């Protein structure tokens, strides 16, 4: 969805949405014409952001609570390394 559509769906200004994106709170891909393209899930993300800001959190705290992209699981090699650690034998 385009930024103006997201703004209309959430009652948030396009300027605020760009600000949230710059702070890592929203992810958008770029179309060939360089327009931002937000996923449908961005509507709920903006609602969460607005709620947390209304509760008095700053943008840094909001970014910590609900980042644009959830943390990913460790890659297979990283997981393998953690499995290679010696285990303590039980007595």
Query: How confident is the model over 24-49, as pLDDT tens digits?
Result: 999 999 999 999 999 999 999 999 99
Radius of gyration of the chain (CA): 19
The fold for domain 3-83 equals Multidrug-efflux Transporter Regulator; Chain: A; Domain 2 (1.10.1660)
Cα 72 to Cα 3, 67, 68, 69, 76: the distances in Å are: 26, 12, 12, 8, 12
The end-to-end CA distance of the chain, in Å, is: 60
For the chain, what are the domain ranges? 3-83
Q: Distance (Å, rounded) from C-alpha 41 to C-alpha 17? A: 14
pLDDT, position 78? 47
pLDDT, position 30? 93
Of residues 82 and 3, more confidence is placed in: 3
Helix/strand/coil percent split, the chain, to 5: 50, 5, 45
pTM above threshold 0.75? no
């Amino acid at each position: 969805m385009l930024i103006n559509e997201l703004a209309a769906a959430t009652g948030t200004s396009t300027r605020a949405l760009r600000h949230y994106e710059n702070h890592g709170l929203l992810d958008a891909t770029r179309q060939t014409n360089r327009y931002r393209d937000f996923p449908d899930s961005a509507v709920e993300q903006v609602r969460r952001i607005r709620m947390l800001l209304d509760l008095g959190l700053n943008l840094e705290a909001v970014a910590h609570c609900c980042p644009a992209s959830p943390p990913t699981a460790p890659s297979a090699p990283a997981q393998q390394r953690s499995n290679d650690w010696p285990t303590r034998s039980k007595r």
